[in-house]
Structure 1
Amino acid sequence: MFCARPAGSELTRLPASLTTIDGPPSSHGRVRDNGPGPATDGVVGHGLAGMRERVAMAGGTLWTGPGSLGGFVVHEELPVADAW
């Protein structure tokens, strides 16, 4: 998977990986890139806040921040409804 993000007036393609682990009682999804990490210019958008609100409405949690090896990580955990 590739994500494109604005870098000034040009777009930069960054490879990203997506890992999902499904099983009771929750589903986990993680997206990690190898970019420069979170912005430090103080500009805040609405994308991550909107994601956090939607995940919370479904009873889940969302963690976002710098990755341990650089880049940026988005991790969600959502409850899985009982299918029986």
Structure 2
Amino acid sequence: MFLDHFGCIFMSHRPVKEMFSKTAFVISTTAGIGTRNVIKTIQKNLRYWGISKIYKCGLTLRAKDWDDMPSKKQNKYKKILEKKII
């Protein structure tokens, strides 16, 4: 896993001072279930790195890609993302 290579900067090993002032935004998209588990794993690693502000958003597309989704659902997800960003 990609995140395993960054275990050396965990707070308990070798904290990086610059990480304490960072902000993270985690977006996870799936065609089915599993968004919550992915976000939890990434959020946990970011906290171990010392990042204090972590915003997250999980979207279940139920489609192969963005263009295959109905426009009504696309608009709904755009509004959700805009609220999270602002």
Report the TM-score, using the length of structure 2 for normalisation. 0.30
Q: Which has the higher strand share?
A: 1
Report the TM-score, using the length of structure 1 for normalisation. 0.30
Q: Which has the higher helix share?
A: 2
Larger Rg: 2
